[in-house]
Amino acid sequence: MSLDDHLRSRLHARREAGLLRVLRPLEDVGPTVRHEGRDFLNFSSNDYLGLAAEPALRDALREATAAGAPASRLIVGHLKAHEEVEAALAALVARPASLLFSSGYAANVGTVPALVGPEDLILSDELNHASLIDGCRLSRAKVRIFPHADLEALERLLRDRPAAGRVLVVTDAVFSMDGDRAPLRALAELCQTHGAWLYVDEAHTVGVYGPAGAGLCAELGVEPDVLVGTLGKAFGVAGAFVAGSSALREWLLNVARSFVYSTAYPAALLPVLRAAIRQVRAADDRRAQLHAHATRLRTGLRALGFESPGDSPIVPWILGSNEAALTTSAKLADEGILGLAIRPPTVPVGTARLRLTPMATHTSSHLDQVLEAARRIER
């Protein structure tokens, strides 16, 4: 069998199982978008504060001194502007230093293996993001998965840890599919008690929680050993950063393979990131609006009899089967609403869902439209 025949067979099987993924070319970004000549309300974006289309960010592109980068940062791709942005990000999350990566995925698959190896132990929440899972695998450390947010199970694993080797506890701050928060204070206490390092991925919380958008760790007074933040969600730009001590930054720029062997973060986006950081710091009103929208949407779905766990701006609408999720998504699309289906392996089998994410820039009438459409969908 040829490669193409093999792939076509596999694609057909995914289509029959309701698991085939496709691209949808949109003409713009924001709370409303156009697709194939139609206008849609966009409730599937991670642009929580609505900054991706913010005029101040577009204007900042004019400040760029170059478009891309000539090399990796360790060769001749490093600019003074990289350091300025990293200092601003570190200040935002109240950590001594930070390092830019090309994406959140690159940050996690580079950082975890840079910190632990075959003689070490990783304790990872079972609902962690795929990038954290892959980073753990690449480290070649022994990985033990603890049940989601189960502090007793984690404590048992910490108590029974090997005498030799380092221990890294890895967790998301807010989990991207269920929208619930990790028990960060308790995790930090357990790590301190048992001499473990705490690694927190704040992909969905920096910019959304905390003083001036500093994140959930800052809001709770938790100082993890490693803090990861993404810049393509609340910041509306692209990339990610790892924040922590100055020693952590220096170590990562020497050994994190996804940093060392990647072309530098594009020069054109550095002034945009500076503008985004300023916008995030000043976005208390947007953060309040975002959380109010999420609460109203989740409460409305529950009142209609739907399952919608969590307590963050990620609002899951659990539907169960792949077919139910795809059908509900299609019904919303018929009414001009983008609420895309999330299916295995992204979520466990039998928990297919729509993952609704309001934006601060949605209006009350936008939420009315979603909840009115939900009322007309059979449970």
* Ramachandran angles phi, psi of 329, nearest 5°: -60, -40
Q: What is the 3-state secondary structure (H, E, C) of 132-170?
A: HHHHHHHHCCEEEEECCCCHHHHHHHHHCCCCCCCEEEE
312 a catalytic residue: no
Instruction: Exactly one of 233, 291, 362, 366 is catalytic; name it.
Output: 233
Closest-CA residue to 273 (of 19, 98, 39, 14): 98
Q: Is 233 a catalytic residue?
A: yes
N- to C-terminal Cα distance for the chain? 44
Given the residues 176, 258, 308, 312, the one annotated as active site: 176
Strand order, beta sheet including 142-146: 97-101, 240-244, 226-230, 197-201, 167-172, 121-125, 142-146
Alpha-carbon gap, residue 51 to 232, rounded angstroms? 10
Pull the structure tokens for residue 241: 């950063």
Tokens of 260: 């060392």
- List b or e across 229-256, with b for residues whose CB sees 16 or more CB atoms inside 10 angstroms: bbbbbbbbbbbbbbbbeeebbebbbeeb
d(CA 326, CA 160): 44
| Interatomic CA distance for residues 248 and 114, integer angstroms | 10
Distance CA 312, CA 292 (A): 10
Task: Count CA atoms closer than 13 A to 75's CA, side-chain side.
Answer: 12
Active-site option among 82, 129, 204, 293: 204
State the Cα torsion 11-14-16-22 to the nearest 10°. Answer: -80
- Name residues whose C-beta falls within 8 Å of residue 38's C-beta, 6 or more positions apart in sequence: 336
Task: Answer positive or negative: Cα dihedral of 359, 365, 366, 370.
Answer: positive
Active site residues: 176, 204, 233
